[in-house]
């Protein structure tokens, strides 16, 4: 009643249009995924459809609001990415992924800046464009790896995921530096280069510290309801970003580091927290690309279409492959994996948000750069994105898709428990395949808790026989994991 009295129908109409756009994004996500196109492109075009020059008629051109809201969404996406990244994956691919996230970003920015200058852009516009689109996008990459039906070999998937989550800070730092230089050319000195490692170091340090302090807090505090645990982890993520940024460090890297520490530790109600943060990350991706679609005016795109398309093709075919090849020259990775990483350089929400920063700072030519960035984002999503499955098969980097269980068994506890529950997919070569439960010699403190066979739940009694493709949930003590995995195979993740 109060909203209607103050603003008759305006808020209701806005929420109606936004709700319809989000619903359409979800409803058509599976069909778009079957076409091989990353779903984020649908969110972007639906946002344009609902904008002031589309049928929705939502007038939105506030770059300041877009940057603030977009930053919150990025924090949620990166926090979910860090929570789901195992330490083992970071250790295995940390060095090459770190090179791609730092040196690779700088090389990509420099190469694209030189090409943009050759196309006729000013040095200010060229340097800004290179910095803004220099990093791959965590939202787009995670949407492809986790939301689609793409199953990559673990090392390649870990490389893409860690790089995409870790390289946004570098692009942010370069963009801010280029804005400062554009506003005051006298600030361009050799000492500017020291800002990059300093901000990364501060961000990483604050992130690790916030992660450990957050762990101690969440383990000691007993909220009156379990629904407050996600609120507490969100608070930790926001504090991590804010503290690192205020201390002139990388807030985005801090959030990712905080999530890495917490995600690889024992948390109360861990599975519930994981579901909440995954939902928030997906909602953030939808809302982020819808908002960015609203921010784009199609009539402003035509004058820069030629430069935008040329820059996008140069980035995909020259700048990204060359930067990746230089960074990984001594990594001993197979050539096909290097070529694959060179091709899969998805851009998305981060470049558009970074492209809005020079507009806010009123840098000369910033709006032109923002419109060019749109073309680069769309082409990078459609070109490498739509071909990712074909390229995966071509380079033979796919991993066999394992069937997902029709039911999931889990236990949530506010206290650490001296025991684990793991799910095992019974493969034909497993030691227990074809054996009845009475024939399987488990450790004294271990037990089979549930058998999921297709859409049926099988009671885990002695005569029950384990068959191929069964999903078996086993309870065991941490010290018995190795023996249990010898019997059932490797535990399923997630």
Q: Where are the domains of the chain?
A: 21-394, 420-488
Alpha carbon distance 94, 457 (integer Å) = 41
Q: Residue 5: its pLDDT value, please? A: 44
Among 39-53, 216-230, 395-409, 454-468, which range has the highest average pLDDT? 454-468
Q: Residue 492: its pLDDT value, please? A: 78
Q: Please write the tens of the pLDDT for every residue from 119-170.
A: 999 999 999 999 999 988 776 776 666 655 567 788 888 888 888 877 888 8
Alpha carbon distance 259, 236 (integer Å) = 9
The share of the chain scoring above pLDDT 90, in percent, equals 21
Alpha carbon distance 133, 128 (integer Å) = 9
Which of the four pLDDT bands, split at 50, 70 and 90, describes residue 297?
confident
Closest CA relative to residue 343, chosen from 310, 318, 326:
318
Fold matches, 21-394 and 420-488: no
Q: Please write the tens of the pLDDT for every residue from 395-417.
A: 888 777 666 776 777 777 666 67
Q: Please write the tens of the pLDDT for every residue from 35-68.
A: 556 666 777 777 777 776 767 677 777 788 888 8
Superfamily of 420-488 according to CATH: Regulator of K+ conductance, C-terminal domain (3.30.70.1450)
Alpha carbon distance 123, 120 (integer Å) = 9
Q: Encode burial over 327-343: b for 16+ CB neighbours within 10 A, e otherwise.
A: bbeeeebeeebbbbbbb
User: Phi/psi at 290 (nearest 5 deg)?
Assistant: -65, -45
Q: Residue 112: its pLDDT value, please? A: 95
Residue 180 has pLDDT above 90, yes or no: no
Which of the four pLDDT bands, split at 50, 70 and 90, describes residue 17?
low
What number does CATH give the domain 21-394? 1.20.1530.20
Alpha carbon distance 116, 361 (integer Å) = 21
The 8-class DSSP code of residue 416 comes to -
Q: Where are the alpha helices (DSSP H) in 184-269?
A: 192-220, 228-246, 251-263
Which of the four pLDDT bands, split at 50, 70 and 90, describes residue 233?
very high
Which of the four pLDDT bands, split at 50, 70 and 90, describes residue 4?
very low
Q: What is the mean pLDDT of residues 346-354?
A: 81
CA distances (Å), origin 154, targets 90, 93, 135, 230, 397: 12, 10, 22, 29, 9
């Amino acid at each position: 009643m109060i909203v209607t009295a103050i603003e008759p129908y305006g808020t209701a109409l806005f929420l109606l249009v936004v709700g319809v756009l989000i619903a359409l994004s979800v409803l058509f996500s599976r069909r778009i995924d079957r076409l091989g196109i990353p779903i984020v492109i649908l969110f972007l075009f639906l946002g344009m459809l609902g904008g002031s020059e589309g049928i929705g008629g939502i007038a939105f051109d506030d770059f300041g609001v877009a940057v603030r809201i977009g930053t919150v969404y990025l924090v949620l996406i990166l926090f979910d990415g860090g929570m789901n990244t195992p330490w083992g994956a970071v250790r295995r691919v940390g060095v090459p992924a770190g090179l791609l996230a730092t040196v690779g970003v700088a090389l990509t920015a420099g190469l694209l800046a030189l090409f943009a200058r050759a196309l006729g852009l000013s040095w200010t516009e060229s340097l800004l464009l290179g910095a803004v689109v220099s990093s791959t996008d965590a939202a787009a990459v995670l949407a492809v790896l986790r939301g689609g039906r793409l199953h990559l070999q673990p090392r390649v998937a870990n490389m893409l995921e860690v790089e995409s989550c870790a390289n946004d800070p570098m692009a942010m730092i370069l963009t801010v530096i280029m804005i400062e230089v554009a506003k005051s050319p006298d600030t361009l000195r050799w000492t500017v280069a020291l800002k990059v490692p300093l901000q990364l170091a501060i961000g990483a340090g604050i992130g690790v510290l916030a992660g450990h302090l957050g762990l101690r807090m969440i383990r000691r505090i007993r909220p009156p309801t379990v629904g407050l645990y996600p609120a507490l982890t969100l608070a930790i993520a926001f504090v991590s970003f804010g503290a690192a940024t205020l201390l002139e460090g990388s807030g985005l890297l801090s959030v990712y580091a905080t999530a890495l520490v917490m995600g690889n530790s024992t948390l109360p109600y861990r599975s519930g927290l994981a579901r909440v943060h995954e939902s928030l990350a997906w909602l953030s991706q939808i809302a982020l690309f819808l908002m960015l679609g609203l921010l784009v005016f199609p009539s402003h795109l035509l004058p820069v279409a030629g430069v935008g398309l040329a820059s996008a093709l140069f980035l995909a075919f020259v700048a990204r492959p060359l930067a990746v090849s230089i960074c990984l020259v001594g990594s001993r990775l197979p050539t096909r994996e290097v070529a694959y990483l060179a091709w899969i350089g998805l851009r998305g929400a981060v470049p558009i948000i970074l492209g809005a920063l020079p507009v806010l700072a009123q840098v000369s030519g910033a709006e032109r750069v923002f419109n060019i960035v749109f073309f680069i984002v769309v082409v990078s999503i459609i070109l490498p994105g739509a071909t990712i499955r074909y390229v995966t098969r071509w380079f033979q980097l796919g991993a066999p898709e394992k069937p997902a269980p029709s039911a999931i068994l889990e236990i949530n506890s506010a206290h650490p428990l001296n025991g684990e529950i793991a799910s095992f997919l019974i493969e034909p070569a497993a030691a227990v395949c074809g054996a009845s439960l009475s024939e399987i010699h488990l450790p004294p403190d271990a037990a089979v808790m549930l058998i999921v066979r297709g859409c049926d739940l099988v009671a885990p009694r002695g005569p029950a026989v384990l068959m191929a493709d069964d999903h078996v949930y086993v309870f065991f003590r941490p010290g018995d994991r190795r023996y249990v995995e010898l019997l059932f195979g490797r535990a399923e993740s997630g």
